[in-house]
Structure 1
């Protein structure tokens, strides 16, 4: 029973996340473009209102772009809440979810508050639809009036007076704790996030770390995102590299998977490593966890700052201190590749092929 409930909750939350991520990426990238553009003019606070009426029209445009990006990024909480609700109760829960998510954002309840808003909206609408029965002549008002009105009312009341305050306090405490981190503590945090990202390669642990890191961008906290974006691409790059440097340890199918893994890694998709993890989890997962942890810790420890949720190669050069960022990726990739090769035996098919080939050479030499 509890396993089924947990599986359903995970499905609903992941649905919300899948709809939220494009908004986060769009908003953060637009903001990154504005801030990188501002840096060419020696401006480090392009978001400041004083640049809105700048004599330089390009600087004014960059200020506006930063605002547009912030607008998109600010939609992440209502959108995730709306689509968690949608996953539970279909379109009936969209309005309550949107309003609940906006309220969670405005009272500072953050990502956890938005998740709660989506779940409350979804299950509230589902219960109203299931248990409120009206005469046939009036049944049509349930989906168009009762569900949106009472679904929204119940959601906002619970968020504002029950759930919101503790989540807002928790969110503030988390932000203060992360902002107060420095030195070895921040490096340890980055290593933990990296390890989580490298653990299940796109699964719930990975998604929890990445989504939380992205949510913290709205509060101007960049170290978790830096660690997460480095860690996302290390497993597919490392495992793809392993198939190139130790071809005889991988059969033809896995070598083809390695080529795909390299490409997916370069564009920022950690799922490229999944075929290897499925084939040999006890040998692959320790390597991806360690490589991702080291890469994330190195990037943060050496002062790289990634302000956008972009892990692909096209975003590397927008990172502050990008040479050490790329170095961290390279080190993590080499750790994954090295451990994978060291822990793996040559595949049976390749050993047989190699023996047959050697025998043919020996026979040819003898006949000669």
Structure 2
């Protein structure tokens, strides 16, 4: 009798869960970015014609051919975005059970979408599918002559059916209720509460620059996009880029306060911030952890300012190429500038001078005149 391989490496439970979520999110992002950018192009183009609802079906028969094309573009972007939940679920399952887990995970993600469980349900579907396929791999044994049928027949079919049963009859209803309850709570927020939530998300994102706290805030904000809740995402996308831009600008304006290594890092940090990579600020945090507090303050202020003044970012895109697709984009850009300015100025309290420069001055030989 032969066991057929389904996958799964030997990791601790926590590391395995984290690895699976990060795998799912990383495979999902290209679909989300492609869809969001295409929709952004359509909506910016439509705004030039005074149209603010290019997604409306009435534009399919518009008199202008350009408007019809822009309407189709918006539909193409929406189609790409609709793959978000099945892809994240499919690749979470893939991380746990290799190729046999992809079909059960994707079907589970589609079912999660139809059940109204949102991103939370897609995550659950990915884990359910992955662990079911792994269990089938462990406990089902076949004769050697039939072993090759396992990965292409038994695991996908059995895994998909069992995943759908669990989602539809066991966890789907409570997850849908939890998702709708969270949606209503967040949508009911207004004024001070909304700004406070944005500040908390911004502070979390600015805390560890791509670490677990950052990822928790960003992933939660992205999860709410599927439910049409955009304020957390707006806050997160502003906060992602404020620290690297702020610190990069500081090294350009006050270069003598930073050691040579950080001056070089600052050039890369500015560029990484503009394309939406918060990790550009990590060298500064490693050099002097006090800057973390400044990062959190600047990120929180920028995020709360954007949300409080009405900017709305409907896509998980923080880079400059998505700024013009944001509703009230001048406010959005101003918020990024203000948060970055706070960090740039705050860095003056942390980085007071370049140690190398001071040492160099101390080592300079004193000048003296030789008398005859």
Task: State the TM-score, normalized to the length of structure 2.
Answer: 0.92
Alpha-carbon RMSD across the aligned residues, in angstroms, is 1.9
Q: In structure 1, the residue corresponding to 2:229 is in which secondary structure?
A: coil
Contact 1:35 1:66 in 2 (8 A): yes
1:363 aligns with: 367
Per-residue Cα deviation, 1:55-97 (whole angstroms, up to 9, x for no partner) = 2111111111111111111101000011111111110101001
Cα displacement (A) at 1:130: 1.7
CA–CA separation in structure 2 for the residues paired with 1:303 and 1:235? 22
1:319 aligns with: 326
2:86 aligns with: 78
Answering whether residue 338 of structure 2 is matched by residue 331 of structure 1, we say yes
2:4 aligns with: none
Answering whether residue 205 of structure 2 is matched by residue 201 of structure 1, we say no
Cα displacement (A) at 1:317: 2.7
Q: 2:348 aligns with which of 303, 326, 341?
A: 341
1:294 aligns with: 301
Per-residue Cα deviation, 1:17-46 (whole angstroms, up to 9, x for no partner) = 000111111111111222222222222221
Cα displacement (A) at 1:114: 0.6
CA–CA separation in structure 1 for the residues paired with 2:370 and 2:294? 47
Per-residue Cα deviation, 1:249-288 (whole angstroms, up to 9, x for no partner) = 322111111111011111111111112222322x121111
Q: 2:54 aligns with which of 46, 60, 63?
A: 46
Q: In structure 2, the residue corresponding to 1:85 is in which secondary structure?
A: helix
More helix by share: 1
Cα displacement (A) at 1:293: 0.6
Q: 1:192 aligns with which of 191, 197, 200?
A: 200
Cα displacement (A) at 1:310: 2.1
How many residue pairs match? The answer is: 361
Q: 1:57 aligns with which of 58, 65, 83?
A: 65
Cα displacement (A) at 1:307: 2.4
CA–CA separation in structure 1 for the residues paired with 2:278 and 2:204? 12
2:8 aligns with: none
Q: What does 1:209-248 align with in structure 2 at a 5 Å threshold?
A: 209-248=217-256
Contact 2:119 2:226 in 1 (8 A): no
CA–CA separation in structure 2 for the residues paired with 1:225 and 1:268? 13
Q: In structure 1, the residue corresponding to 2:19 is in which secondary structure?
A: helix
Contact 1:250 1:350 in 2 (8 A): no
Answering whether residue 157 of structure 2 is matched by residue 149 of structure 1, we say yes
Provide closer, same or farther for how the CA distance between residues 112 and 61 of structure 1 changes in structure 2, counting only shifts above 3 A.
Answer: same
Contact 1:238 1:332 in 2 (8 A): yes
Cα displacement (A) at 1:305: 1.8
Contact 2:43 2:325 in 1 (8 A): no
CA–CA separation in structure 1 for the residues paired with 2:222 and 2:344? 27
1:107 aligns with: 115
Task: State the TM-score, normalized to the length of structure 1.
Answer: 0.93
Q: In structure 2, the residue corresponding to 1:239 is in which secondary structure?
A: helix
2:106 aligns with: 98
Cα displacement (A) at 1:131: 1.7
CA–CA separation in structure 2 for the residues paired with 1:220 and 1:8? 30
Answering whether residue 256 of structure 2 is matched by residue 256 of structure 1, we say no
Cα displacement (A) at 1:347: 4.2
Cα displacement (A) at 1:159: 1.0
Q: In structure 2, the residue corresponding to 1:45 is in which secondary structure?
A: coil
Contact 2:195 2:305 in 1 (8 A): yes
Q: 2:315 aligns with which of 308, 324, 328?
A: 308
Per-residue Cα deviation, 1:162-204 (whole angstroms, up to 9, x for no partner) = 1211111111122222222211111111111111211121122
Contact 2:201 2:235 in 1 (8 A): yes
Gaps of 5+ in 2: 1-10
Q: 1:174 aligns with which of 179, 182, 187?
A: 182
